């Protein structure tokens, strides 16, 4: 069985993919998104830290960053609409089907690159609080 962290990431990808279809969700892409492949939502796991220990349970904090990449005259609108749909899908069930304790939005920022045909990246960060057993990362606590 996969770790709780991996199951959370897969659940997030599934929710986002459903919410913003047909825009693709790319998890941890290793290459830049081409002009032809945009718009796209990029999903990055920025970190996973331990926040508390209690008996045999460990509280954890997973930081996810989304970046909607769009190009063209309506890039800000396209990116914003995708991020609005992704946000709603992620927060519709903040327990992610029993995998998480809570989901919380951290921040959002805007980036624009005029040199790349008006490329826009709209990043937003979220924290997902979850709990595992101290000796078994596949078991929720």
CA pair distance 93, 128, nearest whole angstrom: 12
Q: Is the pLDDT of residue 124 over 80?
A: yes
Q: Which tokens go with 71?
A: 């190009």
For 72, the 3-state DSSP assignment is coil
pTM: 0.90
Q: Which tokens go with 137?
A: 């990362």
- Mean of the pLDDT values across residues 8-27? 96
Q: What is the pLDDT of residue 114?
A: 54
* Sequence-ordered alpha helix ranges (H) in the chain: 4-20, 75-91
| Residue 66: closest CA among 55, 82, 49, 54 | 82
Q: 117 falls in which pLDDT band (50, 70, 90)?
A: low
Tens of pLDDT, residues 31-82? 888 878 889 999 999 999 999 999 999 999 999 999 998 888 888 898 899 9
For 9, the 3-state DSSP assignment is helix
- Mean of the pLDDT values across residues 13-37? 91
Q: What is the pLDDT of residue 110?
A: 65
CA pair distance 2, 109, nearest whole angstrom: 32
> CA–CA distance from 98 to each of 6, 42, 60, 113, 123 (Å)?
14, 24, 15, 40, 26
> What one-character DSSP code corresponds to residue 115?
T
Tens of pLDDT, residues 81-116? 999 999 999 999 999 999 999 999 998 776 555 555
Q: What is the pLDDT of residue 71?
A: 86
């Amino acid at each position: 069985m996969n770790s709780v962290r991996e199951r959370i990431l897969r659940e997030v990808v599934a929710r986002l993919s459903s919410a913003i279809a047909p825009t693709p969700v790319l998890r941890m892409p290793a290459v830049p998104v081409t002009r032809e492949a945009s718009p796209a939502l990029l999903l990055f796991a920025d970190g996973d830290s331990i926040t508390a220990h209690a008996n045999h349970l460990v509280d954890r904090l997973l930081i996810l960053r989304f970046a909607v990449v769009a190009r063209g005259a309506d890039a800000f609108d396209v990116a914003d609409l995708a991020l609005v749909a992704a946000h709603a899908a992620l927060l519709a069930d903040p327990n992610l089907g029993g995998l998480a304790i809570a989901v919380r939005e951290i921040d959002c920022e805007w980036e624009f690159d005029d040199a790349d045909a008006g490329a826009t990246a709209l990043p937003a960060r979220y924290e997902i609080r979850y709990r595992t057993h101290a000796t078994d990362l596949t078991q929720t606590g």
